[in-house]
A and B are shown apart, each in its own frame.
Chain A
């Protein structure tokens, strides 16, 4: 059985553990709630996190790459991973996490898979399994997901600062406009940088 089949077989257990370890990055009282409530509107963080992890895991399974694949090699592949990660990263980018804390959950997947699939391999020992080329490829995929998470985190943070800047520019510009100082400039041109 190759690793993809094993990942597929143990998908639910892996996802459950991955979700729990991600949610455990929150304070204890918060984590309890985020794990418990299933309604996506009463618990937007818990449900978006779960959904995003599921999509990311599926993207890993569907990733058809070799060991030598470099992150930015295929823009379609890259977007697929980043889009899957977007909801969870977008949330963590505005919460009380440092950059490393915000993306650390991705690396946890390696340990979770080791402990879950390791148990499954009756024939091979865990050490042998870890040394297998298919496992190495899986770890490479997780590394790619980590890079994607970092990319997306930076985009979200840039987005936040752009929103701050755009609001400030709008405010200042309308003050100048009222004072008749910028009649020749139009507001869309001035804040147009937000579109780029």
Chain B
């Protein structure tokens, strides 16, 4: 009892210093290293999106259309009517703060405006001011505007929106903790749609979508170059295994169409994952006669349109079903990617379906029905491979990956977006002996984002990427120090690129691998020679000395 404070002692402890101000009064400072460059005018023009012109986020004048406030007001109104979720999310937040400390950008940058509740409040405050009765009544009372939590739209508010809605990777970790199930990613999606009505996209998104619209993939690779790159991998694989994996392109009447992000074809270390797919398809063809074709038209699984607007996403996605129809395949198999799968799993069927010209996917080798893909007709490659392994259909030599001490990063979109949690782990544990999970509050549904998703994997915002990726890197560092983990496995093309750089800054001894790269290493092809190296041309475990001689 004596330790309890008396009322006057308690009163003495109250800090009467006013806090340093309301968040609304803290002006935005667009800091280099934290933002991405503005979209190039020509890229905006390709898709016929409005207000294409050169502009710079750090300039005072953003060269907005004269009626920009009206455009924003109408855009919010239209979206409130069109998307019930958006309307509900605008109204029901009670600002309990459960999400506040769950965002990797808040945890890494320490900027309170990156608390998901506050980031959403940036938009919600304008919604309240413009669209709620309460705010309109309260505005009549002196000081009432602040009581309603509303504020009018100004240029500073727009700049604040732009700065912070491009500091959200739409990863949806915050939504896991929201007692109301508010999906802050959808609020970011709406904000970014509004930016596109004013010509305020970033170039790391605008140029890839422009390329994709023109040539079929984000990197703007033309069909012959796409084919040549895969043939180049074929040569590499032949050198390592002695087997020509003979990829097929645009083959009419094949069983399965395979679509993967173009990053797998053109960006290291994704290219090694791509070689893993090629080895797997060769194995299945030789052993079971499975006929898989690549497409030089549907040469992109990723869809940066998703980070632009629903319409752009739909336009870029359309080629998947179109190509499957043209080739007359039974169903579609998709490669290792993150946001590609959110688009496929949650939007493709309603946007560009029904794909009634395709069959409900069944693995012809095992007879497994992929019930979850019944409607979309598209199966994730780790589900497919996990099924093959479960039925003992693959001959694997784990020893070839014995030098890989693994942990696994759940990509936000595949884990939270589609519940793909155990299949990648199952594959991994069947091709590697050493696997250690990161702590439970950093994996599966609670996984931390790489910090570079949703089109933020540019170079100029490196500080943002490194800060946003800190919670993920921190968990990797822990298993690296505790278990000697040297390899971070993942099933996302952006992760493979982004995490490699992230590791170089925070945990330089850890390398990033795709799951099918490890499958490619372990899988024993018919007629292969004794392999001396892995797909990266590094000596296999036990072959190091021979290499030195």
A residues sitting closer than 8 Å to B (CB atoms) are 26-30, 33-34, 37, 39-45, 48, 90-91, 94-96, 159-160, 163-164, 166-168, 170, 174, 178, 187, 194
Contacts and interface: CB of A to CB of B under 8 A. Distances in A.
Contacts of A170: 268
A42 to B, nearest CB: 6
A37 B101 contact: yes
Contacts of B441: 39, 41-42
A80 B229 CA distance: 48
Contacts of A28: 19-20
B426 interface: no
Interface in B280-339: none
Given A90-B506, A164-B460, A178-B229, A45 B107 contact: yes
Interface string B485-506: 0000000000000000100111
A96 B471 contact: no
A43 B467 contact: no
Given A40-B474, A41-B442, A41-B478, 18 more contacts: A26-B110, A29-B112, A41-B441, A41-B471, A41-B475, A43-B101, A45-B107, A45-B470, A94-B33, A94-B108, A94-B467, A95-B108, A160-B505, A164-B460, A167-B501, A178-B229, A178-B266, A194-B504
Interface in B439-476: 439, 441-442, 459-460, 462-463, 466-467, 470-471, 474-475
Q: Is the interface of B mostly helix, strand, loop or mixed?
A: helix
Interface in B3-45: 19-20, 31, 33-34
A164 B459 contact: yes
Contact of A42 (B101, B108, B470): B101
B212 to A, nearest CB: 17
B458 to A, nearest CB: 9
A106 to B, nearest CB: 19
B428 interface: no
B106 to A, nearest CB: 8
Contacts of A164: 459-460, 462
B100 interface: yes
A191 to B, nearest CB: 10
B101 A33 contact: yes
Contacts of A29: 112, 115
A30 B110 contact: yes
Contacts of B221: 178
A36 to B, nearest CB: 9
Interface string B44-86: 0000000000000000000000000000000000000000000
Contact of A95 (B101, B109, B268, B505): B109
Contacts of B110: 26-27, 30, 34, 45, 95-96
A136 B34 CA distance: 41
B267 interface: yes
A163 B458 CA distance: 11
A168 B110 CA distance: 28
Contacts of B19: 28
Nearest to A159: B505
B462 to A, nearest CB: 5
Contacts of A178: 221, 225, 229, 266
Contacts of A48: 474
23 contacts: A27-B20, A27-B111, A27-B112, A30-B106, A33-B101, A39-B441, A41-B471, A44-B470, A44-B474, A45-B110, A48-B474, A94-B33, A95-B108, A95-B110, A96-B109, A160-B33, A160-B463, A160-B505, A163-B462, A163-B505, A164-B459, A164-B460, A166-B501
